[in-house]
Amino acid sequence: MSARDEILRRVRSALDGVSPVVEVPPAPRAPDRGDLADLFAERVADYRAVVTRCAADEVERVVRDVLGSARAVVPPGLGLDVPGALIDDGLTAAELDDLDAVVTRAAVGIAETGTIVLDHADDQGRRAITLVPDLHVCIVDASQVVADVPDAIALLDPARPLTWISGPSATSDIELDRVEGVHGPRTLHVVLVG
């Protein structure tokens, strides 16, 4: 008997006579906490990420100021002029490692947890470009911010790879003392528009 058939047989025999019916209570929802964009900005900042709020016509200038002289990579569909930035056309990991920053948009923002979710569409690019450079500038539109995790799950397409980001990379592995910045970008700068 193949391992597959053997395991499935063991599972069926273990559950012989066990009713598969389970009553699933609905997961509770967080109470209304007021303006979602405000809460999102506050909670993102709690992770020691940097948050800048601006109007739609200021985004280009804000991004330019944040980047300064950093050499950046951008996804092909960013839809924003970033002077001097490389447009990703399949750069290798080593090439990305030589760059300082990446500018992307996001798919969803979650207010309750201060999370941005990337679904790696054309305005966010491949997973590698938001991982290897040390500074991630992420542009989130206020209209993309939802209240809580279940709202995000309902909007997101599981067929796409997803990356949920809550603050810069961090570890608490040494005496449970939180340190920001390990392997992922050590600085996360969220530009919240509108």
Partner 1 sequence: MSGTFVGMPAFPTAAREALGDTQLRRNLAHATRVIRDKRAQVVAEVEDWEELRLAGAAVKEVALRDLATHLETLEASLTRAGATVHWARDAEEACAIVASVTKAHGVDEVVKVKSMATAEIGLNEALEAEGIAAWETDLAELIVQLGDDLPSHILVPAIHRNRAEIREIFLRRMGDVGRPAPADLTDEPAILAAAARTHLREKFLRAKVAVSGANFAVAETGTLVVVESEGNGRMCLTLPEVLVSVVGIEKVVATWADLDPLLRLLPRSSTGERMNPYTSTWSGVTPGDGPQEVHVVLLDNGRTRALADDVGRQALRCIRCSACLNVCPVYERVGGHAYGSVYPGPIGAILNPLLHGVADEQTASLPYASSLCGACFDVCPVRIDIPSVLVDQRAAVVDQHRGDRLPKPEALAMKAAAWAFSDARRLAWAERASGLAGRVIGRFSRTSLPGGRAAAGRLPGPAAGWTGARDLPAPPEESFRAWWDRTDGGRR
Site membership for partner 1, residue 11 (CB under 8 A): yes
Binding span for partner 1 by CB under 8 A among 50-58, 61-69, 71-79, 168-176: 168-176
Among the listed residues 71, 79, 143, 171, the single contact to partner 1 using CB under 8 A: 171
Nearest in space to 95 (alpha carbons), one of 78, 71, 119, 79: 71
Residue 162 main-chain phi, psi, to 5 deg: -125, 145
Ranges within 76-135 binding partner 1 (CB under 8 A): 90, 93-94, 97, 110, 112-115, 120, 126-128, 131-132
Q: Residue 120 or 139: which CB sits closer to partner 1?
A: 120
Q: Give the Cα separation of 71 and 86 in Å (integer).
A: 8
* Residue closer to partner 1, measured from CB, 62 or 120: 120
Which strands make up the sheet holding 145-146, listed edge to edge? 115-118, 108-110, 145-146
Answer yes or no whether residue 34 interacts with partner 1 by CB under 8 A. Answer: no
Query: Rounded to the nearest whole angstrom, what is the least distance from the CB of residue 52 to partner 1 in the complex?
Result: 20
Handedness of CA 117, 121, 124, 128 (dihedral sign): positive
The values of phi and psi at residue 170, to 5°, are -155, 160
Per CB under 8 A, contacts with partner 1 among 44-63 are: 46-47
